[in-house]
Structure 1
């Protein structure tokens, strides 16, 4: 039964490792036996090794600083290192290991710190810090840091998006400045942005044109209204000259009388106000006079009481004086007779005492009388003064009141006269109005019409002004959009200069050599009159035209073309010319030879790496088909066997074939190659099997045969595989996965060489590619289902890959093999009306340094 591999994306990796997807709706969640219990010991961790014990001379022994490395858990344990368990590793623990060495200026440690920040272990990524650390390492010439920094510039992460700066860093890392091109994805993003700007510009132009039309219509309406207004008769056109003069004079006189009446009314209001103020002052003075009169009466009462007391004291004093005189007379008489007897003498003493008492009392009364007289005199003076002052105030108030009343009477009289005059004027005005009659009514009506039309005119003028403002704003916006469009066109033009030229892949018949030389010859059967030619053109800048032998040839959206070539007797030359939208052309010339021997036509090998120690080629081929709990696959095992055979027979690979491998077996094989392979060797890993996406942490996984759908214990994360590849010292690694794509890939860091270059240029370029470390992945499809059947015993992708590898007779870059495979897969996919586009890209965080994997046939190695 055929199936479609559903492709799942994850944000944790930016380069993908693929595995066939699981349709969880058809999978049970029962547990099976878990093999490989110690598989976690084979995962790569950040390990801090103890310092080395060193001897200096015969007496001094010291220990060096601890050293950070990336190695497996098992290796770190054996070497006594310190690490954090892989599934508990996070942002800070990883930084604690690498930050000290990075601060000392170690470029490799600085790049690892940048990767830690970019990956955001245990937390969100910090692209700004990642860019800062990448720049420190890149400035020291670290290729991986230059690639990573270029990627941030390409995507606009932590730095402003700048494809030109990204390309500059990619080229520095590749050591081939002219060979690195911007990928189609970056160009498509720029073109989408330009298209959006153009759409905005078109909308703005439409809005501006509409505003201009509205403005013209408004101006026309305004002109028409003005013409109508000018054509209206004057409000007084129906009256004679004398009537108009009389009406105008009446208006003036009425206005004058209205003004005078208003002035008189204002004067009356002022006089009434003065009168009210005077009355208030009079009332206040009357109140004060009443208070003072009460005080005067009180003083008078006190004075009368004092006068009465004075009279009483005076009377009593007179009586006392009389008694005193009598006493004195008696005393004189008694003095004469004092000798008469003792009784008379005692009586005299008593009389003398009484006399003294009365004299003392008389003195007190005289003092009281004197005080009362003084008080009476004082009160009499105050009374006289108060009377005089109050009398003056009262006279002044009375005089002011009399004056105010006189003024009020005069003002009333004047107002009455003026009111009478006003009444007469109003009467006269009414008479004039009655005389005006219908002319006045007509005037009011015309004035109202004039006012309404003036309001309409004012509204139209306001509308015109608003339209003009809106027009100015639209003109300004149009200018800004045109400037932005100009800048975008300039940026696109610069980017277009750096985009790869078109490339042509021949699908059927296949070429026997991919060196791009001019003697490409293809044998065909004798007796044929026509030969169908199928191929694909890849044009990152967009395909403008395709000609075969001078005839315009149709192609589909993916660049696929198919045409019949009329054959000559023995040899038929075919010239395929592709022109992109920048005007750059690529030519593929070959000849169809009737009845030729294929073996005799194979080009003589030219080995550009003959002076280079190439090393050995290894392959780990995994085909998981028979699963314990998951659905079985159809072609994975057959695909793996055939790929292993082709790699061994045609390319001399040392192949390790794993069929139906569990988690421990896969990790153990990868770890063994990590330990055994050297920096001169190359490794190809082929995987066909199930794959899945962990919905919690968005990581893609390979699923060994002991994996369970709902249990991630035996899943192998793409992050784990990436870390293992990064820890390898091997020169080149190519991961080929006929399964689920699990990450966003970028092709910008891949080096490309134009077709048609000389053998010397190509030889130099291949040597440079060989020197550079590479970690690349070829996947069977993008974010869409891929065909499992359609290739007979193999999947469509595996069939295309096998056919291309069998036809390789020259040293060939992985990128060139990918283009041939992609063209054939796309052609087969169209037959099934599905879209399947293989992809090829660097594996991010795996140590890619802008090289590329090289397929070297076995005869070159010998």
Structure 2
């Protein structure tokens, strides 16, 4: 069990950059830049210090201040962002909310996160609006409310309330709530019926009961229970009646096609998708761990499909050590623009570490030592911090390794379902929003390295879907194409494997999506 694959050798990215930064230089830190000296009229003044996310090396070069990387301590990050947040900066407020949600000293403070997200959301910050939605969807710091969560997602997405896509998702959510409320109502009706039956039995046997006081007490208690449950039933009925029931017209799927050369820019009509880049990391041969069988084959086929059929510019790292992998992720930022797309495909060993009530996932480079020695492991925190720092509009991480789902603890999409229509309207609403998404081969569990005819079971389904798809396919649509295939093929060899698709919160996600545009 593990992750991915290859047969023929592939030329990997060169690791002989000179001079090479240390791994500590590659970490993303909360940097406080010095103020700028500005001219106003005949005088000068110094602006306040500015917080940014950047690498440790860049922060030093620019004369900034930061605390050496410590993934378990967010107090220093809070000190960097809080003053700017208190001045009303929406981005800083969203960052402060994410710091509180992650937890100071390991303990999340959802109530504080809610306050700061609300401040930023009220100013129209899409990231904060999305984060609020996840809190309501999961019931963290607030009462769980799927419909309210949907509404915050809608605002983050930027669509009006009467939009058909939103109404479709809202109707599905309301149907689930209505079904649960109806179930509760049926239970209350059953309880009331049983209690009334007992009450009638006591009343019928009134003359046969000698202990009058006891009988009266029992009847009074039963009446009290009936009154209480009856009130609860009325409350449920009231909630059911407040749910909107909308007549929804059928949404027609738009047949969308796109063509492109190997040129950087991808367009479809007046839809601008930007440039497409891919970073493929495939670790098969390990120095200190059992080697895998399939990551190189998975990487080779992924590179061919992405380049030939989708016009990606692909960077490949095969059997990279921790420095090579971390540098490859760091170097992508220099190539990406604000409207571009990045696919990060990882195939290899994965592991996890439990510390202070927090479970952290890792990608294991070729020089990784066996657990619990995580000296050369690449943490999810390192990956996520870079995802927040990258300029790209859309990023999709496809991770085929054990415990890959730990890269994000967020819920799946309420806007995603088997009945979702991925129309041109869907693309038009999603396209302007930033996305940081995870498609993992499994959740917090081991995954197969075989069962895919020379590939891993997950890579086979993922690559087959990309190879056979025409037109434009979105991230959720691709996930729906492969999830059942993976689980069924794994089940055929008596193994349970369930792929996951979800947002990576805390990395700048704004309810956007990732689109593969076939040539």
What TM-score bracket applies, with the shorter chain setting the length? 0.7 to 0.9
Deviation at 1:76, TM superposition (A): 0.7
Tell me, in whole angstroms, the C-alpha distance in 2 between the residues paired with 1:838 and 1:187: 26
Matches within 5 A, 1:819-858: 819-858=480-519
Deviation at 1:816, TM superposition (A): 0.9
Compared with structure 1, are the counterparts of its residues 185 and 763 closer, same or farther at alpha carbon in structure 2 (3 Å cutoff)?
A: closer
Deviation at 1:202, TM superposition (A): 3.6
Compared with structure 1, are the counterparts of its residues 790 and 182 closer, same or farther at alpha carbon in structure 2 (3 Å cutoff)?
A: farther
Deviation at 1:189, TM superposition (A): 8.6
Deviation at 1:671, TM superposition (A): 0.8
User: Is residue 349–residue 363 contact of structure 2 (8 Å, CA) maintained in 1?
Assistant: yes
Structure 1 length-normalised TM: 0.52
SS in structure 1 of the partner of residue 274 of structure 2: coil
Which structure dedicates a bigger proportion of its chain to helix? 1
Matches within 5 A, 1:735-750: 735-739=397-401, 740=403, 741-742=405-406, 743-748=408-413, 750=415
* 1:680 to 2:339 alignment: yes
User: Is residue 178–residue 240 contact of structure 2 (8 Å, CA) maintained in 1?
Assistant: no
Deviation at 1:72, TM superposition (A): 0.7
User: Is residue 687–residue 736 contact of structure 1 (8 Å, CA) maintained in 2?
Assistant: yes
Please name the residue that 2:208 is paired with.
221
Tell me, in whole angstroms, the C-alpha distance in 1 between the residues paired with 2:400 and 2:171: 23
Tell me, in whole angstroms, the C-alpha distance in 2 between the residues paired with 1:628 and 1:187: 53
Deviation at 1:486, TM superposition (A): 2.1
Please name the residue that 2:96 is paired with.
113
User: Is residue 147–residue 173 contact of structure 2 (8 Å, CA) maintained in 1?
Assistant: no
Tell me, in whole angstroms, the C-alpha distance in 1 between the residues paired with 2:364 and 2:181: 39
Structure 2 length-normalised TM: 0.84
Compared with structure 1, are the counterparts of its residues 775 and 658 closer, same or farther at alpha carbon in structure 2 (3 Å cutoff)?
A: same
Equivalent residue for 1:773, pick from 434, 457, 481 = 434
User: Is residue 303–residue 314 contact of structure 2 (8 Å, CA) maintained in 1?
Assistant: yes
Matches within 5 A, 1:448-527: 457=210, 459=211, 461-487=212-238, 489-490=240-241, 493-494=243-244
Please name the residue that 1:372 is paired with.
none
Compared with structure 1, are the counterparts of its residues 832 and 630 closer, same or farther at alpha carbon in structure 2 (3 Å cutoff)?
A: same
User: Is residue 302–residue 463 contact of structure 2 (8 Å, CA) maintained in 1?
Assistant: yes
Compared with structure 1, are the counterparts of its residues 184 and 714 closer, same or farther at alpha carbon in structure 2 (3 Å cutoff)?
A: farther
Please name the residue that 1:38 is paired with.
22
Tell me, in whole angstroms, the C-alpha distance in 2 between the residues paired with 1:56 and 1:42: 37
Compared with structure 1, are the counterparts of its residues 698 and 753 closer, same or farther at alpha carbon in structure 2 (3 Å cutoff)?
A: closer
Deviation at 1:854, TM superposition (A): 0.6
Equivalent residue for 1:94, pick from 72, 77, 102 = 77
* 1:816 to 2:477 alignment: yes
Tell me, in whole angstroms, the C-alpha distance in 2 between the residues paired with 1:128 and 1:612: 39
* 1:126 to 2:109 alignment: yes
Equivalent residue for 1:64, pick from 47, 63, 74 = 47
Compared with structure 1, are the counterparts of its residues 803 and 788 closer, same or farther at alpha carbon in structure 2 (3 Å cutoff)?
A: same
SS in structure 2 of the partner of residue 642 of structure 1: helix
Deviation at 1:497, TM superposition (A): 6.7
SS in structure 1 of the partner of residue 293 of structure 2: coil
**Which ranges in structure 1 are unaligned for 5 or more consecutive residues?**
6-18, 21-35, 223-456, 504-513, 518-601
Greater relative CO, 1 or 2 (CA 8 Å, sep 6+):
1
Compared with structure 1, are the counterparts of its residues 615 and 86 closer, same or farther at alpha carbon in structure 2 (3 Å cutoff)?
A: same
Compared with structure 1, are the counterparts of its residues 625 and 160 closer, same or farther at alpha carbon in structure 2 (3 Å cutoff)?
A: same
Tell me, in whole angstroms, the C-alpha distance in 1 between the residues paired with 2:320 and 2:250: 42
Deviation at 1:149, TM superposition (A): 1.3
User: Is residue 41–residue 72 contact of structure 1 (8 Å, CA) maintained in 2?
Assistant: yes
Larger CA Rg, structure 1 vs 2: 1
Deviation at 1:651, TM superposition (A): 0.6
What is the Cα-based RMSD across aligned positions, in Å? Answer: 3.3
**Residues matched between the structures, number:** 488
Tell me, in whole angstroms, the C-alpha distance in 1 between the residues paired with 2:119 and 2:138: 19
Deviation at 1:214, TM superposition (A): 4.2
Compared with structure 1, are the counterparts of its residues 48 and 818 closer, same or farther at alpha carbon in structure 2 (3 Å cutoff)?
A: same
Deviation at 1:688, TM superposition (A): 1.1
Equivalent residue for 2:142, pick from 151, 159, 162 = 159
User: Is residue 625–residue 633 contact of structure 1 (8 Å, CA) maintained in 2?
Assistant: yes
SS in structure 1 of the partner of residue 366 of structure 2: coil
SS in structure 1 of the partner of residue 375 of structure 2: helix
**Which ranges in structure 2 are unaligned for 5 or more consecutive residues?**
5-19, 261-265
SS in structure 2 of the partner of residue 86 of structure 1: coil
Deviation per CA, 1:656-715: give whole Å up to 9, x if none: 111111111111111111232111110000111111121114211111122221212222
Equivalent residue for 2:323, pick from 643, 655, 664 = 664
* 1:209 to 2:192 alignment: no
SS in structure 2 of the partner of residue 81 of structure 1: coil
Deviation at 1:840, TM superposition (A): 1.1
Matches within 5 A, 1:248-647: 457=210, 459=211, 461-487=212-238, 489-490=240-241, 493-494=243-244, 609-647=268-306
User: Is residue 452–residue 460 contact of structure 2 (8 Å, CA) maintained in 1?
Assistant: yes
Compared with structure 1, are the counterparts of its residues 207 and 624 closer, same or farther at alpha carbon in structure 2 (3 Å cutoff)?
A: farther
Tell me, in whole angstroms, the C-alpha distance in 1 between the residues paired with 2:311 and 2:99: 38
Please name the residue that 1:314 is paired with.
none
